[in-house]
Amino acid sequence: MPLKEACVESLQEALAAERQGADRLELCSRLEVGGLTPGVELAQEVLNAVSIPVMLMIRCREGDFCYSPVEVDEMLRQIATFKALNSPQLAGFVTGALTEVGTVDVPTLSRLAGAAQPYPITFHKAIDECPDPLAAIQVLKTLPGITRVLSSGGASTAQEGAEMLMSMIAAAGDDLTIIAAGKVTHENLAALHRSIGASEYHGRLIVGNLKPL
C-alpha cells in the first residue's frame, strides 16, 4: 500500500489522523489559503502527542510564491525555531519558492534547504504554478535536501492531473518522490492509486473525516 500523508491544522486532527491510519502528517495553519506555517506552540503540541513523522509547512504568507528578502529571512527563522524543538517526530519541512516567471527560485530554495539540514524538504504545490512542471522536476533533482514534490499535476484534483503526475513520477526517477495530492480521500485512494501508481498520497481526508461528528 502507498504511504498516506494526512494534512492537518490542529492537535485534534493530528491525533485523529494517526488513530485512523495516517503514516505521516503535514502540519499547517490556515488550510483555507493553501496552508501557512503553523504556530510554534501548536507544532510542539503535535510533535509531543503523536508517534508518526510530522512535516511542518514553511510558508510565511498567502498568495504567490515569490518572496522578498525579508520574507525569506522570516522563513529561515521559522525553520531554525522548529529545529530547536529537537523533536524525534519532526521529519522535515514543506516549502517552495518561485521566480516572477514561475520557475523554481533556486537561490531562495537552496537557502531554505540549507537551513533545514539535516531535515529534508518537500517542495509543495507551488510546482503546480510552474508553466513547465517537468522542467521544474529536473531543476529540483539537482538541489541538495529536496527529496519530495507535492503536486496535483497542475490540475485541481489528482484525478484530473493523473497524466501529468505519471509523467512527473517518470521524470523524477529515483531522485525525488512525487506525492500525489488534490482531493485525495479515503474513498478514492485505491482507484487513484490504480490510475497514477504513486508511492505516496496526500490529503485532508486521506484517512477519512478528522472532525468530531
Calculate the average pLDDT of the chain: 97
Q: What percent of the chain has pLDDT over 70?
A: 100
Cα 140 from Cα 104, distance rounded (Å): 8
Q: Is residue 176 pLDDT above 90, yes or no?
A: yes
67: domain CATH number is 3.20.20.380
Question: Is 213 among the domain residues?
Answer: no
Whole-model pTM: value is 0.96
pLDDT per residue as tens digits for the range 31-67: 999 999 999 999 999 999 999 999 999 999 999 999 9
Q: Is residue 212 pLDDT above 80, yes or no?
A: no
Question: Is 136 among the domain residues?
Answer: yes
Stronger pLDDT, 211 or 37, i.e. the higher one: 37
Question: Is 177 among the domain residues?
Answer: yes
Cell of 17: 489522523
| Total number of domains in the chain | 1
Question: Is 208 among the domain residues?
Answer: no
* pLDDT recorded at residue 213: 64
Question: Is 209 among the domain residues?
Answer: no
How crowded is residue 34: how many other Cβ atoms within 10 Å of its Cβ?
15
Nearest Cα neighbor of 29 from 56, 6, 67 is: 56
Stretch 114-124: mean pLDDT: 98
The partner residues of 208 in beta bridges, in order of sequence, read: 206
The residue segments making up the domain with residue 48 are: 3-203
Q: Is residue 211 pLDDT above 90, yes or no?
A: no
Question: Is 103 among the domain residues?
Answer: yes
Question: Is 9 among the domain residues?
Answer: yes
* pLDDT recorded at residue 100: 96
**3-state helix, strand and coil shares in percent for the chain, rounded to the nearest 5:** 40, 20, 40
pLDDT per residue as tens digits for the range 10-38: 999 999 999 999 999 999 999 999 999 99
Cα 30 from Cα 77, distance rounded (Å): 19
Stretch 187-199: mean pLDDT: 97
* pLDDT recorded at residue 59: 98
